[in-house]
Amino acid sequence: MNTKSGAVLVLSGPSGAGKSSLINKIIDDIGDCYFSISTTTRPMRQGEKEGVHYHFVTHEEFVKDIEEDHFLEYATVHGNYYGTSLKPVRDALHDGKLVLFDIDVQGNDAVKNRLGDITTSVFITTPSLSELQRRLQSRSTDSQEVIEKRIKMSRKEVQRISEYDYLVINDNLDEAAEVLRLIAKAARMKIPSTDINQFVQEWEDI
């Protein structure tokens, strides 16, 4: 059996739930991995860097990549395109890495459709809506209008938690990170169905 098969860990949840903070907490403890950097048409925020936080492109460039089927998944969020390029994901899986995605619920659907048998999904959220709103207000990176849109979107996203394998409530960062660390290690143990079928055939060949 191929013991170097890659695996996928999808992380979703409302903006402000602390997904990036949790990823930073566990990234050095979960082995060889590749964090999938999304491509987006939204403007770069202060402190962000091209190729580190996102790949920033124009609307026209993004649409061209859609037409050429270069994305594993893409979606429109708050009026901007976000997408995941296929080639680096395939390369990382081929090298046996754990591929981490920070994507929305629409993206989770697309990833499961293409990579379902090696995918583990986690929904990360705050303990309550009021706590989410407090965090969004305190980080001071968005206008009130954008915050209201994010709150509206989060109400819809939370209704789809049952579509995920795990729920992590980020009330205490260290405790939530430890739970996510364990989930990431378990995700590596998932075996593609093709490898399972191969093992069964070889096991029966006495």
C-alpha span between 184 and 100 (Å, rounded):
9
* DSSP-derived 3-state class of residue 56: strand
Where residue 31 falls (left for φ over 0; alpha for ψ -120 to 50; beta otherwise) is: left
How do residues 94-112 score in pLDDT, each as one tens digit? Answer: 999 999 998 889 889 989 9
Q: Which token pair is 97?
A: 């890495």
How do residues 29-39 score in pLDDT, each as one tens digit? Answer: 999 999 988 89
Label residue 142 by pLDDT band (50, 70, 90).
Answer: confident
Residue 76: pLDDT over 70: yes
Domain assignment present for 83: no
Task: Assign residue 145 the CATH number of its domain.
Answer: 3.40.50.300
How do residues 178-195 score in pLDDT, each as one tens digit? Answer: 999 999 999 999 888 888
Domain assignment present for 102: yes
For the segment 153-166, the average pLDDT, to the nearest whole number, is: 95
Domain assignment present for 56: no
Q: Residue 184 burial (CB < 10 Å; 0-12/13-18/19+)?
A: buried
Domain assignment present for 86: no
Domain assignment present for 55: no
- What domain count does the chain have? 1
C-alpha span between 58 and 40 (Å, rounded):
8
For the segment 54-72, the average pLDDT, to the nearest whole number, is: 92
Domain assignment present for 50: no
Q: Tokens 């979960």, residue? A: 30
* CA proximity to 40, closest of 95, 92, 107: 107
The answer to whether the pTM exceeds 0.85 is no
For the segment 114-125, the average pLDDT, to the nearest whole number, is: 93
* CA proximity to 121, closest of 134, 97, 140, 105: 105
Domain coverage including residue 129: 7-36+97-204
Domain assignment present for 113: yes
> What's the pLDDT score for residue 2?
46
Domain assignment present for 58: no
